[in-house]
Structures are given as C-alpha cells and as structure tokens.
Amino acid sequence: MVDLSEIEPGIVLLQMQDRIHKNAFTDDMTLALLNAFDTIAHHDRYKVVVLTGFDSYFSTGGDQASLLRLHEGRGHFATTNLYSLALNCRIPVISAMQGHGIGGGFVIGLFADVVILSRESVYTTNFMRYGFTPGMGATYIVPLKLGTALGHEMLFLARNYRGEELKQRGAPFTVLPRAEVLPEAMKMSRQLAEKPRVSLMTLKDHLVADQRRKLPDIIRSEVAMHEQTFHQDEVKQNILSLFGK
C-alpha cells in the first residue's frame, strides 16, 4: 500500500503503490498515509520526504465508495487531515508527481514544499465534473500554487491538463519527462539533506505559516459548500456513471 524507507541518510522515500485502486484514497490508503507521516514525525534524523507514486499514477484521489458516502451524508473529507499531511510535516516534502494526479490526489501533492510534474501525466481538479464543489483545500491551494486565473479555470472547468500544458500556461513547477521526475526529486532531496535539520524545519515553519493559519477556515468553508452541493441526486448519478472514465 505505502512503502516508507530511509533510502539515504536523512532522505525518506514515501511511495504510494496501491496498484489495484491506482493510489485512490481508500480507507486503507488514508490510514497508511496517516501512519507514515506519523512515523516520520517521530524520527529526529529525517530531513526531507519525497512523496511519489508508481508507474503512471501519483494518486487518483477519492474512490467511488468514499464519494458515495459523502453524498449520503456519512462523514466529510475533513474527518482526517489527509489533505494537509505534507503541509504540517515538520520537514520539507517534495511531491514527485511522476504520474496522473486526479482530484484530491493532485491537491495533496500541491501542499508539498516542492512540486515536480511529468510532461505526459494528467492533472485535474475534477470535483465539479461530478457536480460538487471542490474540497481537500483545493479552493485555496490550487490558485495559490498555479495562479488565480489558471487555478480558477481548473476548479470551474474540471478538465484534464497534461503537465506540459500546465507548464506552457505558466505553472511555476519543474516539469520533466516521467522517467526524470523521481531522479530530479532525489537530486533536490540530497541538496536539502546537506542542511541542518533545525534550519530546514525553522525555514519551513516560516514559509508555510500563512498557509497553516488560513487553511482551517478554508476547510470549514469547503465542508459547508459540500453540505449545499454534495447531496444532489445529479451528483450521485454522476459519481455512478462518470467515475473512472
């Protein structure tokens, strides 16, 4: 499900590899990610985390079963802090999105400190494709990281974008051929691992302080919007008919 290993001194590789569900946020994947970041928090020698997926998938976001539960009013996405794991991690996180990032699967990668995309892969905030408003902090982090115009377009249209297109549209990320994404992330992680851990944590706390402060209110607003938009019959039908297509 999730492989966590210190592959070089101070460098932790966190690889999502649920090949059956394409790294969707099933209950098992969610628990595995929560446990992995908890493990990272309790090791004082770690300096940087590289978060990645497998083959052509980074993460496909919420699975159909969890979306149907939300439609039925059984819980909400903020029950766990899955969306903010990278943001709240004390040490820098590099999201090596070598594969497709769909919905919350794209958003969770954007909360990392450094983002690397692949030219070939599809990235989308597809919430509105099903008819419900975005969650997982998407309404905040997508415009923040990609710019207001492109971010709002992605959130409203909910269409697919290749990494190469996002680069051409001004996305301020490193965008490379898929095979080069993880090697570039490792190169960056080695540069970070050269620095003192205390200095890395202190700088991260400073750089993301505003995001950490604002995010709880954003999440509350998104949950409130879901109360208005998620329970429509049309949304259920879209989840049943469009999921995975």
> DSSP string covering 52-103, please?
E-BTTEEE-BS-HHHHHHHHTTS--GGGS-GGGHHHH-SS-EEEEE-SEEET
Give the single-character DSSP code of 112.
S
Cα three-residue angle 61-62-67, rounded to 5 degrees: 155
| 123 within 8 A of 165, measured Cβ to Cβ | no
Give the single-character DSSP code of 194.
T
**Catalytic site residue from 42, 71, 226, 231:** 226
> DSSP string covering 83-97, please?
GGHHHH-SS-EEEEE
Helical pair 209-229 and 197-207, crossing angle rounded to 10 deg: 50
* 226 given a catalytic annotation: yes
Own/partner contacts of 220-224, CB < 8 Å, gap of 24 or more, are 220/78, 221/139, 222/77, 222/78, 222/133, 222/134, 222/135, 222/136, 222/137, 222/138, 222/139, 223/76, 223/77, 223/78, 223/135
SS3 call for 244: coil
Give the single-character DSSP code of 173.
S
Residues forming the active site: 226
